[in-house]
Amino acid sequence: MTAPKLALTDSDLHSSKVDALVIGTVQGAGGLELAAGAETVDAAFDGSLTDVLATLGATGKAEEVVKLPSLGRVTAPLVIAVGLGKPDADGTVGEERVRRASGAAARALGGKKRAATALSALHLGAAVEGTLLGAYSFTAYKSEPGDGPVARVDLVTPAEGTKRAHTAALKAATAIAEAVTTARDLVNTPPNDLYPGSFADRAAELGRSVGLEVEVLDEKALRKGGFGGILGVGAGSTRQPRLVRLSYRGSKTGKKVALVGKGITFDTGGISIKPAGGMDEMTSDMSGAAAVVAAVVLAAKLKYPLEVTATVPMAENMPSGAAYRPGDVLTMYGGKTVEVLNTDAEGRLILADAIVRACEDGPDYLIETATLTGAQVVALGKRTAGVMGSDEFRDRVAATGTAVGESAWAMPLPEELRGDLDSRLADLANVTGHRWGGMLAAGIFLREFVAEGVQWAHVDIAGPAYNSGGPHGYTGKGGTGTPVRTIAAVLADIAANG
Ligand code: BES
Ligand code: MN
Ligand code: ZN
């Protein structure tokens, strides 16, 4: 897929020689209203645009798309009015509303050559991200890829701010959207083509393309290093596991951040096999890995004054004569032993090795993310991630995620669950004997492997990583690229505030 080309424009929308104009509508106190940026278009309709759109059924509701033939009133033949919903209490329209409306508009523009949007006048960065992400589709495996996205979108420049600031905002938002797209591409690549070896190759290539330090441990190196969790989970597959490390050193004096992401390229459950229904979605069980790979590459592109290292365990969880089994005891990297009671609780096993390795670098912060538990989806639904970890950093990550439109919620690590992970044989078991608080029990398990003094956040994205339903806002079907934008925003926040 080729992404739309975006450019800032200062010319008036009404005379713009494009195939379609995008304007925003809101649900005001007295009904439908036009959002800022549509003034000259409204003037070309003699101030009757609101009435005309209302006649067509427009209400301003979030993501509503109403198409109006312009009949020569403006140069463009088509006006597309996209709903932004109700304005905030202060009368403004929040960033996420602009991002979603821009995504809905981009989907409606598919196949067109050129459009111009007024939504960027409300918030430039959000409009850029929403447009690029809404235009995304994964067609690598289609014989007939179809129309493709809109080829070019002109963005109305916001009234406030300098040209320099606008150009910088366009560039940064484009880089962020590209990182999300990179993660989506990895998640959407099917598991027969994306397996530990090929995933490691792609991650290494992405890393090298921006000058990162790259280290790839293959099965032999993992054995030598004693990575018992990754090796145990990977044993059942003919595709051997990997541990990839990508390091960006943007500062010698800035904070050190470790990223860890779950890279199960397919999760059958192993010997504790999953039911057939919906198992295909386990192609997305490497979404955490995809996000941290994309995020460290982005950190380098945006030159954050930080040191960021992504430590990414990759394995395929398969049942076979060579597979690990319930009852096995694994010796993890660093020496802790774990009794496996369920081979479907495999994510925490590969993550434990990676967390211990990541903590050897002495990071200030550790952000780890994984499609870890079905219990996350039960507790918070398909669109809100669960965040656990050190109290302060957990709250900071959850708040930052929600602020950038990746809804996230802080969850506790109830102390009593630790006892339920006690093992008859080993230092701990990989599951409790019950299903209560399954998301939290996984967090409690991971906590055992985090070094003292490291500010840690664990982001369970089992629901948000993959959209099994229809498209909405800037999110299409399949991989969503969550939580790339959360990680990017947390890194930016650490760079600015420590
Ligand atoms: N990859 C799954 C979790 C998952 C479920 C992700 C649904 C996305 C959607 C994970 O490896 C898993 O199987 N977890 C088990 C843990 C249980 C055995 C303690 C689960 O949630 O059922
Ligand atoms: Mn599993
Ligand atoms: Zn899994």
* Dihedral of alpha carbons 422, 428, 429, 434, sign: positive
pLDDT tens-place string over residues 397-423:
999 999 999 999 999 999 999 999 999
Q: In the chain, which residues fall in CATH 3.40.630.10?
A: 181-497
pLDDT at 273 (0 to 100): 98
pLDDT at 204 (0 to 100): 98
Question: What residue owns the CA closest to ligand 1's atom 13?
Answer: 344
pLDDT at 208 (0 to 100): 98
Q: Which tokens hold the place of 236? A: 């059942």
pLDDT at 393 (0 to 100): 98
Q: Give the Å distance between the CA of 249 and the centre of ligand 3.
A: 31
What mean pLDDT comes out for the span 161-180?
98
pLDDT at 310 (0 to 100): 99
Cα distance between the two ends of the chain: 38
Q: Is the pLDDT of residue 426 over 80?
A: yes
**What is the C-alpha separation between 138 and 387, in angstroms, rounded?**
29
Q: Is the minimum distance from the CB of 129 to ligand 1 under 6 angstroms?
A: no
The 3-state secondary structure of the chain reads CCCCEEEEECCCHHHCCCCEEEEEEEEECCEEEECCCCHHHHHHCCCCHHHHHHHCCCCCCCCCEEEEECCCCCCCCEEEEEECCCCCCCCCCCHHHHHHHHHHHHHHCCCCCEEEECHHHCCHHHHHHHHHHHCCCCCCCCCCCCCCCCCEEEEECCCCCCHHHHHHHHHHHHHHHHHHHHHHHHHHCCCCCCCHHHHHHHHHHHHHHCCCEEEEECHHHHHHHCCHHHHHHHCCCCCCCEEEEEEEECCCCCCEEEEEECEEEEECCCCCCCCCCCHHHHHHCCHHHHHHHHHHHHHHHCCCCCEEEEEEEEEEECCCCCCCCCCCEEECCCCCEEECCCCCCCHHHHHHHHHHHHHCCCCCEEEEEECCCHHHHHHHCCCCEEEEECHHHHHHHHHHHHHCCCCEEECCCCCHHHHCCCCCCCCEECCCCCCCCHHHHHHHHHHCCCCCCCEEEEEECCCCCEECCCCECCECCEECCCCHHHHHHHHHHHHHHC
Q: Is the pLDDT of residue 1 over 80?
A: no
What mean pLDDT comes out for the span 343-349?
99
Q: Give the Å distance between the CA of 275 and the centre of ligand 3.
A: 13
pLDDT tens-place string over residues 219-277:
999 999 999 999 999 999 999 999 999 999 998 889 999 999 999 999 999 999 999 99
Task: Classify domain 181-497 by CATH architecture.
Answer: 3-Layer(aba) Sandwich (3.40)
Of 317, 338, 372, the residue with max ligand 1 atoms within 8 A of its CB, to mutate for a pocket test, comes to 372
**What is the C-alpha separation between 2 and 148, in angstroms, rounded?**
8
The 3-state secondary structure of 431-498 reads CCCCCCCHHHHHHHHHHCCCCCCCEEEEEECCCCCEECCCCECCECCEECCCCHHHHHHHHHHHHHHC
**What is the C-alpha separation between 378 and 441, in angstroms, rounded?**
14
pLDDT at 252 (0 to 100): 87
**Ligand 1 atom closest to the CA of 264, numbered from 1:** 1
Catalytic residue among 107, 255, 256, 348: 348
**What percent of the chain shows pLDDT beyond 90?**
96
What mean pLDDT comes out for the span 4-28?
95
Let me know: does 454 contact 360? Beta carbons within 8 Å.
Answer: no
**Ligand 1 atom closest to the CA of 375, numbered from 1:** 21
Name residues whose C-beta falls within 8 Å of residue 494's C-beta, 6 or more positions apart in sequence. Answer: 255, 257, 306, 364, 365
Confidence of residue 11 (pLDDT cuts 50, 70, 90): confident
Q: Is the minimum distance from the CB of 345 to ligand 1 under 6 angstroms?
A: yes
- Whether 67 is catalytic is no
pLDDT at 91 (0 to 100): 83
Of 339, 369, 373, the residue with max ligand 1 atoms within 8 A of its CB, to mutate for a pocket test, comes to 373
Rounded to 10 deg, the angle between the 484-497 and 163-188 helix axes is 140
Catalytic residue among 274, 301, 383, 418: 274
**What percent of the chain shows pLDDT beyond 70?**
100
Q: Give the Å distance between the CA of 377 and the centre of ligand 1.
A: 10
Supply the CATH classification number for the domain 5-160. 3.40.220.10
pLDDT at 90 (0 to 100): 87
pLDDT tens-place string over residues 263-293:
999 999 999 999 999 999 999 999 999 999 9
pLDDT at 151 (0 to 100): 97
Q: Is the minimum distance from the CB of 347 to ligand 1 under 6 angstroms?
A: yes
- Its pTM surpasses 0.95: yes
**What is the C-alpha separation between 463 and 180, in angstroms, rounded?**
17
- Whether 348 is catalytic is yes
**Ligand 1 atom closest to the CA of 272, numbered from 1:** 18
pLDDT tens-place string over residues 40-91:
999 999 999 999 999 999 999 999 999 999 999 999 999 999 999 998 888 8
Q: In the chain, which residues fall in CATH 3.40.220.10?
A: 5-160
**Ligand 1 atom closest to the CA of 430, numbered from 1:** 19
Q: Is the minimum distance from the CB of 363 to ligand 1 under 6 angstroms?
A: no
pLDDT tens-place string over residues 111-164:
999 999 999 999 999 999 999 999 999 999 999 988 999 999 999 999 999 999
Q: Give the Å distance between the CA of 181 and the centre of ligand 2.
A: 25
Q: Is the minimum distance from the CB of 460 to ligand 1 under 6 angstroms?
A: no
pLDDT tens-place string over residues 331-344:
999 999 999 999 99
pLDDT at 154 (0 to 100): 98
Q: Is the minimum distance from the CB of 390 to ligand 1 under 6 angstroms?
A: no
What mean pLDDT is reported for the chain? Answer: 97
